[in-house]
Amino acid sequence: MIDPPIYRSILGRFATGVTVLTARDSSGRDHGMTVSAFCSVSLEPTRVLCCVERIAVMHDVIAVAPQFVVNILSSDQESISRRFAEDADDRFDGLGYTRGITGTAILDGILAYVECDVVDRFNGGDHTIVLGEVIAGGAHDGRPLLYYRGGYAQLER
- Domain containing residue 13: 4-147
pLDDT over 70 at 157, yes or no: no
Instruction: Return the amino acid letter for 68.
Output: F
| CATH (domain of 46) | 2.30.110.10
Identify whether the C-beta of residue 115 lies closer than 8 Å to the C-beta of residue 107.
no
pLDDT over 70 at 3, yes or no: yes
pLDDT tens profile 87-102: 887 899 999 999 999 9
Residue 50 lies in a domain: yes
Assign 8 a pLDDT band (cuts: 50, 70, 90).
Answer: confident
Identify whether the C-beta of residue 112 lies closer than 8 Å to the C-beta of residue 138.
yes
pLDDT tens profile 19-36: 999 999 999 999 999 999
Total tally of structural domains belonging to the chain: 1
Residue 46 lies in a domain: yes
What is the β-pairing status of strands 16-17 and 46-53? unpaired
DSSP SS3 for 102: coil
